[in-house]
Copies of this chain bind each other. A is one copy, B any other.
Amino acid sequence: MLTISSLDATDIAILKLLQIDASLTHKEISFQLRKSVATVHERTRRLKEQGYIKAVVAILDRKKIDRSLIAFSQVLLNDHSAETLGSFEREVSKYPEVMECFQMTGAFDFILRIATSDMDAYHDFYRHKLAILPYIKTVESFFVLSQTKSDTAYPL
């Protein structure tokens, strides 16, 4: 079992619940945890204020909003100065198709997670937005056939 500095069992229980369903009311949470509503209120206020909870967001069904294709693109740059890395990150992060950008260890420099409507849209993105960025040596792209597990909740 995990213990996290400055979080007690009540905090962790609240985070567990809110990671799964943040539309739970304080009343429902307080019932489940056998605490008062005011306590739950105070704890969640603190968890937000201290940055444990970064955001409360709606997760959409991407297939219903015309983002059926997910690609992972592995990018290798041909220059690894801090300026080049930083400028690549900044430029690529501006594109709405880029959901996530990770700088990586290993055989390439970045993994991008790209969401588009279909292969045509990915192709457009690749040709007109990604490939034109300077300092790119190689891009390898892999496409999602199916997504078996999709969790935003970390185990606690």
Instruction: Spell out A's residues near B (CB within 8 Å).
Output: 2, 4, 7, 15, 18-23, 50-62, 64-67, 70, 72, 89, 92-93, 96-108, 111, 115, 142-156
Q: How far is the CA of A105 from the CA of B71 in the complex (A)?
A: 10
CB-based contact B151/A100 at 8 Å? yes
Determine if B57 and A145 form an interchain contact, defined as CB atoms under 8 angstroms apart: no
Pick the contact of A56: B57, B65, B102, B149 (CB < 8 A): B57
Contact present for A65 and B22 (CB under 8 Å): no
Count identical subunits in the complex: 2
Q: Give the secondary structure class of A's interface.
A: mixed
B51 near A61 with CB under 8 A, answer yes
A103 to B21, CA, bound (A): 26
- Contacts A96-B155, A143-B106 hold; do A60 and B52 have CB atoms under 8 A apart? yes
Set of chain B residues within 8 Å of A145, measured between Cβ atoms: 102-105
Chain B residues whose CB sits within 8 angstroms of the CB of A56 once the complex forms: 21-23, 56-59
Bound-state Cα–Cα, A22 to B115, Å = 21
